Each structure stands twice: as C-alpha cells, then as structure tokens.
Amino acid sequence: MKKKVDLNCDIGEGFGAYHMDTDSEIIRCITSANIACGFHASDPLIMDQTVQIALHAGVGLGAHPGYPDLMGFGRRNLQASPAEVQAYVTYQLGALHAFARSRGGKLSHVKPHGAMYNMAAKDPSLARAICTAIYQFDKNLILLGLSGSCMLTEAEKMGLSVAREVFADRAYESDGTLVPRTKPGAMIQEEEVAVTRVVRMVQEGRVQAVDGTDIAICADSICVHGDSPKALLFTQKIRTALEDAGVQIVPLAEVVRE
C-alpha cells in the first residue's frame, strides 16, 4: 500500500470570456496543478491568474502543453511530426515559465494534454519528442504520464524523473490505456464509483478495465479533469477517502524523490 500520493487537476482551461468557475475551489484540494499553456485552452491573462492562485495555495506548478487546437480542446489526434511536437512543447513551457518566474515561482512538472498525452502513451517517436523538449528546457522537471506508458519509458531512458498517473474519472482498456472518449463508458460519472476505484488503485495497485478484467496499475499521482461537471465534488471526496485510509496527499516531488 502506498503511503503518499499526489492529487492533480488540469486547470486554467478557460479562454477569453469563458472561465472554469471551480478552479479556485479545486486548487485548495490538490497538490499539483497542470496549467493550460494557450494551445488547447487558456490565454495569457488566464495563465497569469492561474499561476497566482496556485502559488497562493502552495500547489506545485505544472505545464500542461497540448496540440494547437482550441476548437477541439486539444482532444483531436493531429498529424504532427516529432520536430513540430518538440517545438510545440518547448514554446508552451517557455510561456508558462515566464508567468511563473514573474510571480516568484517555478515549474515543477510537465503533463501533456489530451490527444498528445494519449498518442505519446503508445508512440515512442512522439514520446521522445516530448521528452527531448522537456529535457532540453529543464532536465529537473518531472514528467507526469500514464502509468505503464511508453512515454514514461522514453523519459527514464533520457534521465528525466517520472511520475505515474492514474485517472479518477476515466475508464481503462485491458492494456492499461484510457478508453477513448468517443466510446460508451469512457467517463466515470458516479462519484462513489470514482472514489472506490481510486482508493483501490492506491492501496492495491489494481483497477477493473472496461471489459471486466483486473489490471495492475501504479499510482504516484491521481488526476481529476477540471472541465468535468463533478470535478470539485470528485476532488473533495477522493481526498477525504484517501486521508481516511491513511494515505498522505503530498506534492509530486515528494512522491517521486522521497
């Protein structure tokens, strides 16, 4: 049983006049914030505001780079070369780093978003492009990626620190990948189901896949998607359930480098 785990959320994913109203409340419950960097969501003002509230809450700052796809919220599979993906990630890291530095903070981790994240979980060349961008920017950053994915394997080969992520609100295929959002049952809607699954992933290292098989999984960090209607409720209940089970909720660096 793990005694420590990080709790993260993808936040700052508004754009212009559109804001995620629960961000400021969610951030009080988490230990790591994955902040959108302007490609799949967000804009300079929202990035700056999100960095400020994260720093005020003492939450770890993470860059959440994605494909340049505001219309599709970064969840459409784009055909981009490894060189393009590396440049996309570098550009977005630089943008969020600027806001963090201007507010007296610094980045602790990187978590790719949406389609980029899921494609890199299976594609070594795409994974290497992402990892190269991170390593060349700051080799001390932690890569947060899907537990058991090739993205984490490529990161470790390169010498990056990694954290294995599991999802509270997503269903799993039998190979450990996430069920595509286009398929029925991809999203976990009931909070009690989500809480029970998370506690089991942390305590037992197991989760039931969508086909009913039981698969092994390792949880360094638990993600709740900030754009989910029940994001705040999920986060609050998951944190309470883990603490009641004797699990400490700590920043990502404390889990990875303890």
A 10 A CB-CB count for 25 gives 12
Average confidence (pLDDT) per 10 residues, the chain, 258 residues = 89 88 90 97 97 97 98 95 98 98 98 97 97 98 96 97 94 93 89 93 94 95 84 91 95 86
pLDDT of residue 111: 98
Full residue range of the structural domain in which residue 204 is found? 4-256
* Number of domains within the chain: 1
Contact 238, 224 (CB under 8 A): yes
Give, in degrees to the nearest 5, the angle at Cα 94 between 119 and 46. 85
In whole angstroms, what is the distance from residue 229 CA to residue 251 CA? 25
Q: What is the CATH number of the domain that holds 129?
A: 3.20.20.370
Amino acid at position 126, single letter? L
pTM, to two decimals: 0.95
Closest CA to 218 of 138, 156, 145: 145
Closest CA to 38 of 52, 30, 50: 50
Could you give the 3-state DSSP secondary structure of residue 124?
A: helix
In whole angstroms, what is the distance from residue 122 CA to residue 57 CA? 35
**What angle separates helix 231-244 from helix 191-204, to the nearest 10 degrees?**
40
pLDDT of residue 161: 97
In whole angstroms, what is the distance from residue 61 CA to residue 54 CA? 7
Strand partners, 61: 33, 107
pLDDT of residue 1: 61
